[in-house]
Amino acid sequence: MSSYLTSCEKAARAAGKVLTEWRGKFQVREKGRADLVTDADLAAQKAIEEILSGDFPDFEFLGEEGPAGVSRTTGSPFCWIVDPLDGTTNYVHGLPNYSVSIGLAEAGTIIAGVVYDPVFDRCFKAEKGQGATLNDERIEVSRAKSLDEALIAASFAASIQKGSPEIDDFVNVLTQSRGIRRLGSAALNLAYVATGCLDGYWAGSNKPWDVAAGVILVQEAGGIVQGYNNQPFDVFQPKIVATGTQQLQAALQAQISSF
């Protein structure tokens, strides 16, 4: 495991400890309608940044809870992309489906990432060219090829409106797949695709920090990650479709019209 991934895991576990310690003690604020932030988010990001900045002081840092998301700009091609608490609404309500997500990009390409589930102590890790693991055991995507055998996850904007094209996409996939789940953490959705317990995932309203780590998990587990309309994935414009096979990727892309 490289020093990048070692630092990723160390920072993610430190943030997970912070989130656990803050349970039941935090204050909640709204960044936007149904878009929450807590003291725990802020404390967890501080813990992450202290570790990563200490280990790699020249790397840039993009975190969800900084001013405009940006905490440090250095001109380096390397940038940490961090969500200290992906699934804040779940966390606030006591639903045990949230995570810490840390990805490392080099010139816009994700080269390493960790998604850490502090509730169940599950650490998903991946590095470019080195495969993906869950608690150091190798993981692989599912081989589902058609929607009717696939369990799919989706994410929607916190402020989604009735009549949105995203709702039409949801209905399209719902009526053709084995089932749809909206679990509330994009990072965990992608981690679950990487393990094969979900067959696919799509979303049109994520931010870079929601998906940076999860993208490399899926890729290194043998899966496919694209933007909408079969376009190359761009972490800074992260409309995303992720599956385990080319056949399922084509089938899911065909149901998504909200480009």
What domains, with CATH codes, occur in the chain?
A: 4-138 (3.30.540.10), 151-254 (3.40.190.80)
pLDDT tens-place string over residues 5-58: 999 999 999 999 999 998 877 666 555 444 455 788 889 999 999 999 999 999
SS (H, E, C) 111-171: EEEEEEECCCCEEEEEECCCCEEECCEECCCCCCCCHHHCEEEEECCCCCCCCCHHHHHHH
- pLDDT of 216 higher than 90: yes
Q: Chain-wide mean pLDDT for the chain?
A: 91
39 belongs to an annotated ligand binding site: no
Closest CA to 117 of 92, 97, 103, 102: 97
Q: How far apart are CA 100 and CA 132, in angstroms?
A: 17
Query: Phi and psi dihedrals of 217, rounded to 5?
Result: -60, -50
210 belongs to an annotated ligand binding site: yes
> Residue 27, SS3?
coil
183 belongs to an annotated ligand binding site: no
Query: Phi and psi dihedrals of 206, rounded to 5?
Result: -80, 170
83 belongs to an annotated ligand binding site: yes
Q: What is the mean pLDDT of residues 73-77?
A: 83
pLDDT given for residue 35 in this prediction: 44
86 belongs to an annotated ligand binding site: yes
pLDDT given for residue 37 in this prediction: 58
